[in-house]
Amino acid sequence: MLAGLEARRVHVEADIGRGRDVAFHLVGLAATTVKEARERVRSAIKNSGLDYPRSRFTVSLAPAELRKEGAALDLPIAVAIVLALARKEAPPNSAFLGELALDGAVRHVDGAIVATRCLRGLGYARVFVPAADAAEASLVEGVEVIPCPTLAAVVNHLLGAEPISAFMRTGNEIPDRSVVAEHDLSEVHGQDEAKRALEVAAAGGHHLLLSGPPGTGKTMLARCLPGILPPLELAEALELTQVRSLLGELPRDHPLDWARPFRGPHHGVSMAGLIGGGTGFAMPGEISRAHHGVLFLDELAEFQTPVLQALRQPLETGRVSITRSAGSVTYPARFTLIAATNPCPCGWSGDNLRACRCTPGAIDTYQRRLSGPLLDRIDLQVSVRRVPLEQLTAEPTGETSSTVRERVLAARLRQTDRQGCLNAQLKPARLRQLAPLALTSRRTLERWAAQRGLTARGFHRAWRVARTAADLDGATEIEDHHVLEALGFRLQDVAA
């Protein structure tokens, strides 16, 4: 049974009693979905041509105090009953999961890979999973995956009549590691400042804010980010696959995907939708779907304030803990945030084509809604301006995503070699130790901090971005121009 990205083991026992009245007792704190298992299990056993007990019998789900949820217990319950009736022992070191159809077919369950991973951790060597989920479960190394098409097949296997062979990977499960990007940077004309910011964001794992009038290509720029990131590492891809599996969003035939996710929830999104939530155990939200990828929040000022506030914890820690009635679960949420916003309510402030109709007060209010703790956590802030039409048609195209990706990759390697993580995730103590500032660089940073009243957090954030600029440059030391560039991305220090 699943509790977020953890699974709880449920022992299923069946005892066939005597007595003439046929009754199916299910004990062990079963929720409605599990109580209904009685009906599914009875029909499935009978329709599979197997014997069904003709006396009262009891199925116990242990531990008794754990509330049982989900249809994945159908298969183990049915197997327990059939084996008890046949007076057979349960096979050693084996675990079962699957929902039963009335005709005895074993149906898909969500989270098969999560369950398999946890069962391996508990020492199980063999896991019986729905045939549809075998490819997914097989991504877990070191455990034998038995694909179960029907209840009858499982029983035949257990009684030794007709063994099912363990699932063999066909190669489809782990495709080639390559980047297929939806959008290429070379399709974006002009906007070199924003493109550079994207490169820095990709290289150091920094969050990015794009501010500019409507129609200046903010969304397009954001969509280019996955294409300049290196493909996922295996461990990263597996983490993401588990989140998707829980949500039932995994494609059956190719469960593993190397592409960095890109999620762009609408600004009407609820707290549960963005952060995660639901009844019982919370389900992952958009931020966990964007794990190791990009979360794009367009029209940042239109999001509800509490929803934005809730982003603070995951932005800092890369994970999110949600407590619901059944308990607390933690999901990974290490994403790169790209936020886009208009400079003012009407959107045209600072545009060279149309006049802005907002009062200074309205602009002030609008920008204040954005400011504060969330904006403080966004390292890179750039204003995006309209590119003149003649430039759209006449200019040669810029660099392609793959060129930029190579620089990004080199910069990321430099960081992992040095510190084992990206610059954006460096704690201040390690930053001081691993990214020392040259004297002139330090002076520049301090001058700026004094002029603009930077907080300690802001100071460290600018420092990290400077480190990333140096990494992109291949420089071992942070030079003055790296600091200056980093400070150039601090639109938040500008008086409105």
Partner 1 sequence: MSPPEPHLRARGKWPPPDGPRVAIVGSRRPSPYGEAVAEQLGLELARAGVVVISGLALGIDAAAHRGALNGGGVTVAVMGTGVDVIYPAAHSALAEAILQAGGALVSQFPDGTTPRRHNFPARNYTMAALSDAVVVVEAAEGSGALITAEAALDLHKEVMAVPGSVFSPLSVGTHALIRDGAGLVQNARDVLAALNLGGEVLDDPLSAPLGLGFKLPGGRDGILSHLSDVLALNAAEIARKLQLPVAEVLGRLTALELDGAVKRRQDGYVRALRRGKERA
**Tokens describing residue 216:** 């200046």
**Tokens describing residue 67:** 């509330």
- By beta-carbon proximity to partner 1, the closer residue of 194 and 322 is 194
Q: Would you say 320 and 287 are in contact if contact means Cβ atoms under 8 Å apart?
A: yes
What's the order of all strands across the beta sheet hosting 11-16?
11-16, 57-62, 24-27
Interacting residue with partner 1 among 447, 455, 457, 476 (CB under 8 A): 447
- Assess 471 for contact with partner 1 (CB under 8 A): no
- Assess 495 for contact with partner 1 (CB under 8 A): yes
- Assess 469 for contact with partner 1 (CB under 8 A): yes
The DSSP line for 65-114 is TSPB-SGGGHHHHHHHHHHHHTT-PPPTTEEE--EEPTTSBEEP-TTHHH
Residue 382 Cβ vs partner 1, minimum distance, rounded to whole Å: 8
CA-to-CA distance for 175 and 258, rounded, in angstroms?
Answer: 8
Whether the link from the prior residue into 63 is cis, omega within 30° of 0, is yes
Residue 281 Cβ vs partner 1, minimum distance, rounded to whole Å: 44
Interacting residue with partner 1 among 162, 192, 253, 316 (CB under 8 A): 192
The count of chain residues that interact with partner 1, using the rule CB under 8 A, is 35
Q: Which stretch binds partner 1 (CB under 8 A): 60-68, 265-273, 299-307, 445-453?
A: 445-453
In the region spanning residues 210 to 239, those forming contacts with partner 1, defined by CB under 8 A, are 211
Q: Which stretch binds partner 1 (CB under 8 A): 62-70, 116-124, 128-136, 444-452?
A: 444-452
Q: 10 Å Cβ neighbour count for 96?
A: 26
Interacting residue with partner 1 among 138, 288, 415, 444 (CB under 8 A): 444
Interacting residue with partner 1 among 262, 331, 448, 463 (CB under 8 A): 448
Residue 144 in 3-state DSSP? strand
CA-to-CA distance for 90 and 93, rounded, in angstroms?
Answer: 9
CA-to-CA distance for 205 and 422, rounded, in angstroms?
Answer: 6
- Assess 463 for contact with partner 1 (CB under 8 A): no
Alpha helical stretches, state H, 294-400: 305-310, 312-317, 360-370, 373-376, 389-394
- Assess 194 for contact with partner 1 (CB under 8 A): yes
284 beta partners: 276
Residue 406 Cβ vs partner 1, minimum distance, rounded to whole Å: 17
Interacting residue with partner 1 among 86, 102, 410, 496 (CB under 8 A): 496
Interacting residue with partner 1 among 92, 306, 360, 396 (CB under 8 A): 360
Residue 118 Cβ vs partner 1, minimum distance, rounded to whole Å: 47
- Assess 171 for contact with partner 1 (CB under 8 A): no
- Would you state the torsion angle of the CA atoms of residues 106, 60, 62, 135, taken in this order, to the nearest 10 degrees? -10
- Assess 494 for contact with partner 1 (CB under 8 A): yes
Interacting residue with partner 1 among 36, 193, 257, 399 (CB under 8 A): 193
- By beta-carbon proximity to partner 1, the closer residue of 247 and 491 is 491
- By beta-carbon proximity to partner 1, the closer residue of 136 and 351 is 351
Residue 439 Cβ vs partner 1, minimum distance, rounded to whole Å: 16
- Assess 331 for contact with partner 1 (CB under 8 A): no
In the region spanning residues 243 to 282, those forming contacts with partner 1, defined by CB under 8 A, are none
- Assess 48 for contact with partner 1 (CB under 8 A): no
Residue 308 Cβ vs partner 1, minimum distance, rounded to whole Å: 20
**Tokens describing residue 293:** 């990828």
b vs e for 375-402, b when ≥16 Cβ sit within 10 Å of the residue's Cβ? bebbbbbbbbbbeeeeeeeeeeebbebe
* Alpha-carbon distances of 113 from 33, 93, 257, 330, 370, rounded to whole Å: 21, 18, 14, 17, 39
CA-to-CA distance for 167 and 340, rounded, in angstroms?
Answer: 46
- By beta-carbon proximity to partner 1, the closer residue of 376 and 399 is 399
b vs e for 148-160, b when ≥16 Cβ sit within 10 Å of the residue's Cβ? bebbbbbbbbbee
**Contact positions vs partner 1 (CB under 8 A):** 190-196, 211, 343, 349-352, 355, 359-361, 383, 385, 444, 447-448, 451, 469, 481-482, 484-485, 487-489, 491, 494-496
